[in-house]
């Protein structure tokens, strides 16, 4: 590794963030139909700094979205509390932009209107023309300008997802909460959305705090400062928080060859996947 790169990696390690999100001893239980109580996550403590990008990964059903929803305010902790910029979260708010797995678009509104309505309700002091420009810019960014008059029912899964992304980006919140935001996208679109996300983050002088749920280890490494690995539920806890000390700006093609990338990739894979090899023993092959 060359000296400059070593220096950049060392600087990444020293980065200090001012606190933004604090999840304090959070336990979340749900009453199920037969009235039994199911505890999804237990005693979670997590601090996310302002301008930090943190990904949450873990097996399906371990409680990633539940934890995320306690930050968005959609779920109230059974025990513990969540604060965002020192204020206790009591419900959703315009300081937090959310992209859900299921898009959550208003079905009776066009793509343009879905984004415009969000901008209109949050950026109240902008003029109509300014709001229009913001919507147009964000639709262009996600490559949907040509489809802006379509209704959600007339869109593919990936297009719905891109509309939801444009809507969240357009209101430019101080905290972006992304729940598998790129899951429905093809590899090429996904890659360009990663770049767009980091571009927006850079435009905001890296002051926007981003928490993202993902199943994709490469995505988590490319985007994040830290990756939170969760244990399986019920009563899921945080297994480990892994630092991603890779220099920014990151180039997808280049970072994969860095020893630091390979080491962190191996580490995350090891934490998530128990069996890394496929045993051939006892398998019959036709000749």
Rounded CA-CA distance 21/84 in Å is 5
Q: Which residue's CB is nearer to ligand ATP, number 40 or number 135?
A: 40
Region near ligand ATP per CB under 6 A, out of 62-70, 82-90, 123-131, 161-169: 62-70
Q: By CB under 6 A, how many residues form the interface with ligand ATP?
A: 13
Binding-site string for ligand ATP from residue 11 to residue 30, where x marks contact by CB under 6 A and - marks none: -------------------x
Q: In the chain, what are the helix, strand and coil shares in percent, each to the nearest 5?
A: 40, 25, 40
Instruction: Give me the DSSP letters along 129-186.
Output: HHHHHHHHHHHHHTT-GGGTT--GGGS-HHHHHHHHHHHHHHT--SEEEEESTTTTS-
Candidates 25, 61, 199, 203: give the one binding ligand ATP (CB under 6 A). Answer: 61
Q: Which residue's CB is nearer to ligand ATP, number 34 or number 125?
A: 34
Rounded CA-CA distance 33/150 in Å is 38
CA-atom Rg of the chain in angstroms: 20
Q: Which residue's CB is nearer to ligand ATP, number 32 or number 34?
A: 32
- Looking at residues 65 to 124 of the shown chain, list those that interact with ligand ATP (rule: CB under 6 A): 65-66
Candidates 97, 152, 181, 233: give the one binding ligand ATP (CB under 6 A). Answer: 233
Residue 183 C-beta: closest distance to ligand ATP, Å: 9
CA dihedral 210, 215, 216, 221 (to 10 degrees): 40
> Does residue 226 bind ligand ATP (CB under 6 A)?
no
> Does residue 270 bind ligand ATP (CB under 6 A)?
no
β strands within the chain, DSSP E: 19-31, 37-49, 53-57, 79-84, 87-88, 96-99, 175-179, 209-213, 226-230, 238-243
Candidates 21, 48, 63, 242: give the one binding ligand ATP (CB under 6 A). Answer: 63
Candidates 62, 176, 217, 223: give the one binding ligand ATP (CB under 6 A). Answer: 62
CA dihedral 195, 200, 201, 203 (to 10 degrees): 120
> Does residue 42 bind ligand ATP (CB under 6 A)?
no
> Does residue 176 bind ligand ATP (CB under 6 A)?
no
Contact residues toward ligand ATP (CB under 6 A) are 30, 32, 38, 40, 58, 60-66, 233
């Amino acid at each position: 590794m060359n000296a400059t790169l070593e220096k950049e990696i060392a600087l990444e390690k020293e980065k200090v963030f001012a606190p933004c999100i604090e999840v304090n001893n959070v336990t979340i239980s749900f009453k199920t139909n037969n009235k039994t109580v199911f505890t999804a996550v237990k005693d979670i403590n997590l601090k996310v700094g302002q301008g930090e990008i943190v990904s949450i990964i873990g097996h399906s059903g371990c409680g990633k979205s539940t934890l995320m929803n306690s930050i968005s305010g959609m779920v109230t902790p059974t025990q513990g509390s969540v604060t965002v910029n020192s204020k206790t979260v009591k419900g959703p708010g315009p300081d937090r932009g959310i992209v859900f797995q299921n898009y959550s678009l208003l079905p009776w509104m066009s793509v343009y209107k879905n984004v415009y309505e969000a901008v209109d309700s949050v950026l109240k002091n902008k003029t109509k023309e300014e709001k229009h420009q913001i919507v147009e810019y964000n639709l262009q960014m996600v490559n949907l300008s040509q489809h802006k008059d379509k209704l959600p029912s007339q869109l593919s899964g990936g297009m719905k997802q891109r509309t939801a992304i444009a809507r969240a980006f357009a209101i430019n919140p101080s905290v972006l909460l992304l729940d598998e935001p790129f899951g429905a996208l093809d590899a090429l679109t996904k890659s360009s959305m990663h770049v767009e996300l980091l571009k927006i983050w850079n435009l905001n002088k890296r002051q926007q705090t981003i928490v993202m749920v993902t199943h994709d280890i490469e995505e988590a490494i490319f985007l994040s400062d830290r990756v939170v690995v969760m244990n399986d539920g019920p009563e899921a806890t945080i297994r480990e928080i892994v630092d991603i000390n890779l220099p920014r700006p990151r180039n997808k093609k280049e970072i994969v060859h860095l020893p630091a990338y390979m080491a962190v990739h191996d580490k995350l894979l090891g934490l998530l996947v128990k069996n890394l090899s496929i045993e051939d023993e006892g398998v019959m092959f036709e000749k």
